[in-house]
Structure 1
């Protein structure tokens, strides 16, 4: 009986020791914190530069003013011109990200020096049509798809341009005979890509098309011209290519991914 008890005790000790050893052999898995995912949500400001191109088509409409001014055969096309120049400006906006979608609004303004001219078909040997654009501004909504720190987006909204239109003589093409300063309103669409190289700083490249439609411009005689006012219908479109740098103030920092 004593031998049986000793044998039972030995077997019990053997099994309990093996179980303890097995428990000691299994190590707990380390807890890995979820990786943060970049978020585009937040306010931002920035600067941009690039190039601008415009296309303007002039026509003499059939109006009482033009008939009195010696254009009884109106309306006729009097030519058109294009121009290109630099642009530089600033922008500000807000993004809100939900999943991969990024919704936002943005306003921007650009300074430029767009100029163009052509011979006026009413008197091609004597007169020239001239256009100058000094500034643009847009206000648009944006919809984008985020791939972590990369953002691909489209935008659309309203556009504004600060223009001058004038007719000059062929002998002195930069001296206005009849002139109009004009504020033009239209619409715009655009597409772009942006990349955040830190949590707050990002770079972007963007293309915009601005359409200002056709508007009647009344050119007033200048002191050096013994002439009357005259009206032209001017159709205007503008294309912009921009590269920019944005600083994002953020909203709540990076989002933590959940698994």
Structure 2
């Protein structure tokens, strides 16, 4: 009888140990947190500082004015879309901003900043870009390069003369930036862009042609985006 009870106890103990081992072996592992997904549409705002250098000139007679510095606050709106492939992020982005403050234009050929017959000025009234983005993501951190089409509206020339005028201008923009995702919807970024709008249009020169400005400007800005 004692042998039968001992055998039964050993059998029960063995079964319980095997069942416990199975429970441990087949208990599902905890699910790891997924990496951030940069794919999707986003919309945001940006603000920063722009600075540049322009030289008014007349293509007809080859005359040039002084170098004129433009600088000041820039700010505007941004929209774009990203596609993520493993760690590679491809995107397209468009933005529009006010330009560097033309009221702070300064010539360098004399204390009155003159262009022979009057005071020179350059004003990037507003500009925009449509650019591609190529980046590398490490979870919530993204570093990227960007480049594409730039456009804007400008004014300048010689004040109070036929050579004062303005119009639309087109060119290119390129730069780089870093972006960080705070959660699934909100990201912030720091970005540098070089913007070249080509020879920007002013008024008429002395020979009835077009008076222009040659130069470019740079922008450093911070942005915040909401990803849908």
Shorter-chain TM band: 0.7 to 0.9
1:235 aligns with 2:198: no
Q: Distance in 2 between matches of 1:80 and 1:230?
A: 21
Deviation for aligned residue 1:54: 2.0
Under a length normalisation based on structure 1, what TM-score does the superposition of the two structures give? 0.74
Aligned pair partner of 1:158 in 119, 130, 149: 149
Tell me how far 1:76 sits from its aligned partner: 3.9
Map 1:84-233; keep pairs closer than 5 Å: 84-115=71-102, 116-118=105-107, 126-168=117-159, 175-214=160-199, 217=201, 219-220=203-204, 229=208, 231-233=210-212
How many pairs align?
220
In structure 2, what is the equivalent of residue 255 of structure 1? none
In structure 1, list runs of 5 or more residues that go unmatched: 1-5, 64-73, 169-174, 222-226, 250-259
Rg larger in structure: 1
Cα RMSD (Å) of the superposition?
2.7
In the alignment, does 2:11 pair up with 1:22?
Answer: no
* Cα distance in 2, alignment partners of residues 191 and 247 from structure 1: 20
Partner of 1:77: helix, strand, or coil?
coil
Q: Where does structure 2 lack aligned partners over 5 or more consecutive residues?
A: none
Whether the 8 Å contact between 1:218 and 1:230 is mirrored in structure 2 is no
Question: What CA distance in whole angstroms lies between the structure 2 residues aligned with 1:138 and 1:218?
Answer: 21
| Deviation beyond 6 Å, 4+ runs, structure 1 | none
Measure, in 2, the Cα distance between the counterparts of 1:166 and 1:77.
11
Q: d(CA) in 2 for partners of 1:152 and 1:111?
A: 25
TM-score normalised over the length of structure 2: 0.83
More strand by share: 1
